[in-house]
Amino acid sequence: MLILSRKVGEAIIIADNIKIRVLENKGGLVKLGVEAPDQVIVHREEIYLRILEENKKAAMDSPDDLSMLSAVFPLQKKE
Amino acid sequence: MNALKKQDIDQPGAEKNITVQTSRFGEITVDRERIISMLSPFLGFPESTRFILKSHSPKSPFMWLQSLDNPQLAFVVLPASLTGLDYRPEIPRQILKELRVNADNDKDILLILTIPKNNPQEMTANLLGPIVLNSNKRLAVQVVLDPHKYDPCCRLFPAK
């Protein structure tokens, strides 16, 4: 892993178009400002992992047949 | 995002349908015009960018979102509007732009369900990471919302 030391106000640049600046460091909470192109998606790690885990669970768990769902649950498509 | 379009232009005589192997439905024939392209893949499944929506049955609101790139990948999804939940998340404008959504009725919100095999009544819907779909343009993306507001595993049928 590349480790860089930065002071408040300093930044790092990733590739040519992503800039991450340390804005504030107060009581253990570090505020970062991210400048990146619109198509670059930025996530907080724990939320990213939460969604990833839920996606995997949904894909793994799904039942073989959905017929029983319609029987058990009173959902009907509105015409 | 425009790969499909480009291909159509490059190959005007291309077959209307493609045939894909899936583990759940066996070999399926898909009309190219019904293929949904993801703006970015589902987290955890970077290889899958093309999907097809398959209704479970004409009367059922449940649908399969089957990957055309990974035969084993299929999600059970449900339109958010049919859940009975008051769920109208604000979708970032940039995402609507990328989905080419102009009016509100251009977009559908689908929820991914996690259904325990032996306990379907304990199914949960992922409200934190819904799928926003522009069915006219057949573009979709999984949006990550605010975790303080939305639950990734919300019970749809609470225990009575």
CB contact under 8 A, B59 and A66: no
A47 and A53 in contact (C-beta within 8 Å)?
no
Contact B82 A41 (CB under 8 A): no
Where are the alpha helices (H) located in chain B, listed in sequence order?
3-10, 93-98
What pLDDT does residue B13 have? 57
For A28-63, the pLDDT digits (tens) are: 999 999 999 987 889 999 999 999 999 999 998 777
When pLDDT is cut at 50, 70 and 90, the band that residue A79 belongs to is: very low
B12: amino acid identity, one letter:
P
Distance of CA A75 to the CA centre of its chain: 31
Distance (Å) from the C-alpha of residue A19 to the closest C-alpha of chain B? 19
Q: Contact, B75 vs A58, CB < 8 A?
A: yes
Whether residues A77 and B45 touch (CB distance < 8 A) is answered with no
Question: Maximum distance among all alpha carbons in chain A?
Answer: 61
Q: How much is the mean pLDDT over chain B?
A: 88
pLDDT mean over B7-32:
80
Query: Over the stretch B84-141, which tens digit does the pLDDT of each residue have?
Result: 889 999 999 889 999 999 887 789 999 999 998 888 888 999 999 999 999 999 999 9
Q: Which two tokens stand for residue B90?
A: 């604000």
Nearest-CB residue to A51 (from B120, B123, B144): B144
DSSP conformation class of B35: P
Is this complex's ipTM strictly greater than 0.90?
no
Q: Which has the minimum average pLDDT: A34-43, A68-77, B145-154?
A: A68-77
Measure the CA dihedral A42/B110/B67/B123, to 10°.
100
Q: By the CB < 8 Å criterion, does A62 face chain B?
A: yes
Does A7 touch chain B if contact means CB atoms closer than 8 Å? no
Strand partners, A14: A18
A74 touches chain B (CB under 8 A): no
Q: What is the per-residue pLDDT for B160?
A: 57
Contacts of A66 in chain B (CB under 8 A): 56-57, 60, 62, 64, 76
Interchain pair B144, A43: CB under 8 A: yes
Is residue A20 within 8 Å of A42, Cβ to Cβ? no
